[in-house]
């Protein structure tokens, strides 16, 4: 019997192809779009049992050619809100690569939280002018509460690191339940409870029609005045004006922003409406929490393993819900 095909649209050198072959195993046969002549590509798309791509643009005019036997369109990245998924057939199962970057992103999130709580950037700048604030208090994380909003791969990886420094972990996910070791778990309706209890709040949830501007002035008012907010998700989950106003009004509150509202990859430029980077209680990074070169092979492996699940008739992980098809 002929094996089903995985059509690989991402760039793949010899090393990456070896990883794809190993992760795919006996579930199917990899066919590389780059190896095919233009005229042969529509037929390959129609025949594919699964497709692995980085962007819809890698399949120019081929979305219409995806066959009904395609069990999964798998994307390289975890977040897919910036992709024009509404142009694709509604019945087509689509998955982001949820948790693929979890471990490096968790390290980045912890580093930002620690830097903010320990006032590292602030005191570094003050020492340049001769200030030596040895006895200005910084934040103790031991015994505090880390609240994680979006308890998927990234959230679970973050929980392990927070546990390792002696924090309790409170978490929110859609089910309101988890098999992971947490001190408290709630559903989406319990977000206010988590915010009131947390010393650190990490955002690791997808952008959707229901999470856009989820964090507004009312929610910031619920948080502790010296809380630390770490955004590893999407800028649009936060009301930009509300966050800036809260940071100005409450200088003990710290925002660690890795995910911005307007970014080059998704929007073609980097800009912000308010001057966040001029505030001493903001730590910013250029959405590089996942930019760990040696991890790229693991990202490919996890994506292809999900394709293998689909080809074998199992339910894929990280399927995109209708409300998460933003464009």
Mean pLDDT of the chain: 93
Domains observed in the chain: 5-99+294-324 (3.40.50.720), 102-284 (3.40.50.720)
Can you give the pTM of this predicted structure? 0.90
Residues 193-207 have a mean pLDDT of 97
| Res. 61 pLDDT band, cuts 50 70 90 | low
CB count within 10 Å of CB 89 equals: 14
| Res. 66 pLDDT band, cuts 50 70 90 | confident
Residue 83: predicted pLDDT: 83
Q: Mutual orientation of helices 14-24 and 296-311 as an angle, nearest 10°?
A: 40
d(CA 199, CA 131): 28
pLDDT at 63 over 70: no
150-165 tens-digit pLDDT: 999 999 999 999 999 9
Residue 83's nearest CA partner among 96, 71, 70 is 96
Instruction: Name the most confidently modeled range: 57-66, 76-85, 255-264.
Output: 255-264
| Res. 58 pLDDT band, cuts 50 70 90 | low
d(CA 6, CA 299): 17
Print burial letters for 37-52: b (CB count within 10 Å at least 16), e (below 16): eeeebbebbbbbbbbb
Helices (H), the chain: 14-24, 41-47, 102-117, 120-128, 153-164, 191-197, 217-222, 240-249, 264-267, 296-311
77/129: higher pLDDT = 129
Beta strand pairing call for 254-257 and 184-186: unpaired
Residue 191: predicted pLDDT: 98
- The answer to whether 242 and 220 have CB atoms below 8 angstroms apart is yes
What is the distance between the terminal CA atoms of the chain, rounded to a whole angstrom? Answer: 39
Residue 325: predicted pLDDT: 84
Q: Rounded to whole angstroms, what are the CA distances from 60 to 33, 38, 57, 156, 258? A: 12, 10, 5, 36, 31
Residue 54: predicted pLDDT: 85
Residue 1: predicted pLDDT: 58
Locus of tokens 């206010």:
192
Q: What 3-state DSSP class applies to 262?
A: strand
75-126 tens-digit pLDDT: 998 888 888 888 888 889 999 998 889 999 999 999 999 999 999 999 999 9
Q: Considering only 39-53, 106-120, 158-172, 303-317, which range has the smallest mean pLDDT?
A: 39-53
């Amino acid at each position: 019997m002929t094996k089903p095909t995985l059509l690989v649209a991402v760039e793949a050198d010899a090393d990456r192809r070896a990883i794809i072959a190993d992760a795919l195993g006996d579930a199917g046969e990899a066919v590389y779009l780059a190896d095919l002549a233009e005229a042969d590509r529509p037929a390959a798309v129609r025949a594919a049992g699964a497709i692995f791509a980085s962007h819809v643009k890698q399949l120019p005019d081929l979305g219409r050619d995806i066959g009904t036997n395609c069990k999964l369109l798998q994307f390289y990245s975890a977040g897919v809100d910036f992709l024009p998924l509404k142009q694709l057939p509604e019945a087509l199962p689509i998955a982001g690569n949820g948790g693929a970057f979890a471990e490096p992103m968790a390290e980045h999130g912890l580093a930002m939280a620690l830097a903010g709580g320990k006032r590292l950037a602030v005191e570094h700048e003050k020492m340049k002018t001769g200030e030596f604030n040895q006895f200005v208090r910084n934040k103790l994380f031991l015994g505090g509460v880390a609240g994680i909003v979006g308890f998927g791969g990234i959230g679970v990886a973050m929980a392990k690191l927070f546990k390792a420094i002696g924090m309790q972990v409170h978490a929110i996910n859609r089910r309101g339940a988890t098999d992971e070791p947490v001190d408290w778990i709630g559903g989406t309706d319990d977000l206010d409870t988590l915010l009131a209890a947390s010393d650190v709040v990490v955002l690791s949830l997808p952008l959707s029609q229901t999470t856009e501007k989820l964090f507004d002035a009312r929610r910031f008012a619920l948080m502790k005045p010296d809380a630390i907010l770490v955004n590893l998700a999407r800028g649009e989950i936060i009301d930009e004006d509300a966050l800036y106003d809260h940071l100005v009004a409450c200088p003990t509150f710290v925002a660690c922003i890795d995910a911005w509202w307007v970014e080059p990859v998704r929007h073609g430029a980097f800009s912000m409406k308010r001057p966040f980077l001029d505030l001493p209680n903001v730590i910013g990074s250029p959405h590089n929490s996942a930019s760990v070169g040696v991890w790229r092979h693991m990202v490919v492996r996890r994506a292809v393993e999900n394709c293998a699940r689909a080809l074998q008739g199992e339910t894929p992980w990280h399927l995109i819900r209708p409300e998460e098809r933003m464009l």
